[in-house]
Amino acid sequence: MDENLEMIVMNLVIDSGSCRSYAMEAIAFAKEGQFDEAEEALVNADSEIQKAHHVQTSLIQNEAKGEHTEISLLMVHAQDHLMTAMVVKDLAREFVSLYKKLK
């Protein structure tokens, strides 16, 4: 894997991980009744996942143009992080909503 692609993939892992962290933070805030903070964490999670999704979309578009991307364990790991982060973010939004209803 060339250095440029490696950096792109590492950023995908980092942005996805940040999204997941913000989403989990949102759940913790909501659990404590801190809904403004929970909403802010969800906004941050959305921002991070958008960055990660943009990277993934660029990789897919390049592949569609015939520019083959080397599939490595690091690439698979990055995609796993992205998909997990997306699910956690969606569930966090539901948890925040549920905690609001309970309060």
The residue count for the chain = 103
Q: What is the pLDDT of residue 68?
A: 87
Catalytic residue among 54, 68, 77, 81: 77
Q: Per-residue DSSP letters for 41-61?
A: HHHHHHHHHHHHHHHHHHHHH
Average pLDDT over residues 20-31: 98
Catalytic-residue membership of 77? yes
Distance from C-alpha of 31 to C-alpha of 96, rounded to nearest angstrom: 8
Q: Which pTM does this prediction carry?
A: 0.91
* Cβ proximity of 41 and 75 under 8 Å: no
Closest listed residue to residue 100, CA positions, set 28, 31, 44: 31
Average pLDDT over residues 19-23: 98
Distance from C-alpha of 33 to C-alpha of 78, rounded to nearest angstrom: 33
State pLDDT tens for residues 73-99.
Answer: 999 999 999 999 999 999 999 999 999
Local confidence band at 69 (pLDDT 50, 70, 90 cut-offs): confident
